[in-house]
Amino acid sequence: MSEGPASIVPVDADTLDDFAMLEGVGLAARRELIASATQRRLQPGEILIEQGSSQLRLFLVLRGELTVHLDAPEAEPVAVIGHGETVGELGVLDGSEASAFVVAREVTHLLEVAEEDFWALTNASHAFAVNLLLKLVSRLRANNAQVSQNVQKRRQYERAAMFDGLTGIHNRRWLDETLHRLVRRHEAGGQALSVSLIDIDHFKSFNDTYGHAAGDHVLTVVASTLSANLRPTDLVARFGGEEFVILFPSTNLEEAMVAAERVREAVAHETLSMPDGTALPSVTISMGVSELEAEMSVAELLKIADHAMYRAKQAGRNRVRPGRPGDEPL
């Protein structure tokens, strides 16, 4: 049943028992508050507080609900303020502009307390002052929790942006950042650095014959096999498509060739089958290895490894070939 336009909510000292902000406040102080306050009645959709406005009033919700919106009154609400709750205390305390819109969700009755009456109650009632502090602490903790949650989400997004969604290993973005950092470290301290560019042999025909699901499975298995057979200091990333890159920090070309050969053998001996048990043929990889030299760029380092990888393919695949400056594909 709808309320008439002139209907009001009877207010006496007992009416305010449900307000946490007034818990412990004496009856005399409550009566003075009611006598000085003004009743407001809002229609659904009516704006009580406008973002950016100065609000030097405290509102007590006697009946109905208010919603809080950050960007616009029509935006999705971020909070609901119902019977027994208050809004506007921060604006009275520091005179700041409202940071959100507050809108009536339904017919809502309010008790509006002016700034001077707010401060009079604060000075007269120790309980009101304590309740106000408790509410501010609660809001601060909620804000801190929201900030912490946002930080965690940002870290999760940052982490997800550095990993390949299919294989779970690092992706091209991570590789670019890490490889540049390792090159700078090499330039500063002279530590050796080698890389290997890897390609799965005949992957296109494998995909065409057994389907993309099988191809994705092979990519995942190869990635996990590479990771499992590296030294703790070595790093692997998906370069794109069926190509991978291994970084060998503090490793010269000869040492990296030994490590790459071990990885190649592990992939060649890996038994493949789909999750449902369907057997798949084994796959092999071709690898090119290069070592960083003085004044060599990241692009040059990868290009040398890429040329060596193609020489491995042209020599029959399933093998490792070293690359040196000046080498070209056969």
pLDDT tens-digit readout, 43-102? 999 999 999 888 889 999 999 999 999 889 998 988 899 998 888 888 888 888 888 899
- Structural domain boundaries of the chain? 13-148, 172-322
pLDDT, average across residues 185-203: 92
145 exposure class (CB count in 10 Å sphere: 0-12, 13-18, 19+): exposed
Question: Environment class of residue 163 by beta-carbon count within 10 Å: exposed (0-12), middle (13-18) or buried (19+)?
Answer: middle
Whether the pLDDT of residue 291 is over 50: the answer is yes
Nearest alpha carbon to residue 75 among 47, 56, 97, 53? 47
pLDDT at 134 over 90: no
Mean pLDDT of 99-110: 93
Task: Supply the pLDDT for residue 198.
Answer: 98
What does the block give as tokens for 29? 């102080």
- Give tens-digit pLDDT for 209-267: 999 999 999 999 999 999 999 999 999 999 999 999 999 999 999 999 999 999 999 99
Please state, in angstroms and rounded to a whole number, the distance separating the CA atoms of residues 124 and 111. Answer: 19
CATH superfamily of 172-322: Reverse transcriptase/Diguanylate cyclase domain (3.30.70.270)
Whether the per-residue pLDDT at 143 is higher than 50: the answer is yes
Active-site amino acid positions: 242
- At 29 the pLDDT is 87
Quick one: fold of 13-148? Jelly Rolls (2.60.120)
pTM beyond cutoff 0.95: no
